[in-house]
Amino acid sequence: MMGWRIKDALKEDSQKSSESQRNEPNSRWHLARLADNRRPTTQDPTTALQYPDPMSLLDSLHIDADIARAWTLPAPFYFDPAIAAQERDRIFSRTWQVVGHHDQVAQSGDYFTAQLLGEPLLIVRGSDNRLRGFSNVCRHRAGPPAEGCGSRKLFRCVYHGWTYNLDGSLNHATEIEGIEGFNPEDFALAPVRCEEWFNLVFVNLEPNARPLLESLGDLPPQAKRFAFPSMKLFERRTYDMKCNWKTYIDNYLEGYHLPTVHPGLNRELDFNAYTVEPYARHVRQWSPIRGAQPGDTTPRRYKEARDVLTTDYFWAFPNWMLNCYPDNVSLNIILPVEPERTLAIFEFYLPEKDLGTAAAKQSVRFSDEVQHEDIAICEAVQKNLHSRSYQRGRFSVKQEKGVHAFHRMYAQAMIA
């Protein structure tokens, strides 16, 4: 089961960033208040410019469609608090965000609560088997109609006892005699866009957003060969990282650093065949499994190699990933907390028959090793983004197609 409270995660992560979280369904996440930070000089491809305010950064934002001519995002986009505030409104409040899993709301009456960008959410499976999302705010005086998770036939606000049906309609309002012009239909819970794909539950705070499947484009047919919907949650880990969320996404979207940063992972994958495929709203990276090789002195994690045996990494704009291995799938959700602080939630899913096995535990250990390698390099890069010597960079035409695609998507969203 999925879901967690960010305040609990922050407390536990302060003790140990890689500590596993309990597998209890609860609220998922929200973005914390952005911290203050300084804004140094930034630079376009040819001339250093001193930006007088954050909006000038947005006005200057352009990522050339031709990767051979393109420059990366200016450094201040990775630490400016005003830019982070704009991202909340222009990106995270307008995109489909993962908030839960089908297993939390499998039966009629099943529900869980969550927060997204400070908006309290209630996700519930109705008596008609339809999944719905609402603002978890009573229309009387803003009390919470639901808390935690579980199964209900009605929701009762803990403040004044108003009750709501599973479809969000007002069931009963207490002590309202004497109110003029009171129309119960005007006091239904406010709906929030909520849809499912691949057993994941998504919400979008933008009422006019494109349907989820339409926004995913070619990702569903590419991922369907993996048995993720039939897998069960094995373990959840959270990582507290001292870097901007985009620093981590940049790193995720290229295999360029595999030989130097991830020697263990590079040993399993075929770096020379590593392929990056950008699409309209997602990026697919994949590599054949290398398999056992003559002269191996230590066993490889995957001993077999076949044409259909690949590792596929799917990233969907802006902040979630599916890492699909031959024997497991992990879901990653990357959550901005402050301009230079990010939480990464890793959830590991395996076939039910493999839960608790030594192989399952090894899968998590291997992923944890790779994640700590990524954290180390991302935190080093984040510090160096403040250097007076760095304004913005260039893309490797061969190796950084995914990063270029992300920066293009980001720029389009920020200036829309």
346 in Cβ contact with 239 (< 8 Å): yes
User: What are the tens digits of pLDDT across the range 138-182?
Assistant: 999 999 999 999 999 999 999 999 999 999 999 999 999 999 999
SS3 letters for the chain? CCCCCHHHHHHHHHHCCCCEECCCCCCCCCCCCCCCCCCCCEECCCCEECCCCHHHHHHCCCCCCCCCCCECCCHHHHCCHHHHHHHHHHHHCCCCEEEEEHHHHCCCCEEEEEEECCEEEEEEECCCCCEEEEECCCCCCCCCCCCCEEECCCEECCCCCCEECCCCCEEECCCCCCCCCCCHHHHCCCEEEEEEECCEEEEECCCCCCCHHHHHCCHHHHHCCCCHHHCEEEEEEEEEECCCHHHHHHHHCCCCCHHHHCHHHHHHECHHHCEEEECCCEEEEEEEECCCCCCCCCCCCCCCCCCCCEEEEEEECCCEEEEECCCCEEEEEEEEEECCEEEEEEEEEECHHHCCCHHHHHHHHHHHHHHHHHHHHHHHHHHHCCCCCCCCCECCCCCCHHHHHHHHHHHHHHHC
Check whether 380 has a pLDDT greater than 50: yes
Residue 308 — very low, low, confident or very high, per pLDDT cuts 50/70/90? low
Q: What is the pLDDT of residue 290?
A: 55
Residue 393 — very low, low, confident or very high, per pLDDT cuts 50/70/90? very high
The percentage of the chain sitting over the pLDDT mark of 70, rounded to a whole number, equals 80
Q: What is the pTM of this model?
A: 0.85
Q: What is the pLDDT of residue 298?
A: 60
Distance CA 60, CA 68 (A): 19
Residue 325 — very low, low, confident or very high, per pLDDT cuts 50/70/90? confident
Tokens read off for 181? 């012009």
Check whether 90 has a pLDDT greater than 60: yes
Check whether 1 has a pLDDT greater than 50: no
Residue 46 — very low, low, confident or very high, per pLDDT cuts 50/70/90? very low
Check whether 76 has a pLDDT greater than 70: yes
Residue 257 — very low, low, confident or very high, per pLDDT cuts 50/70/90? confident
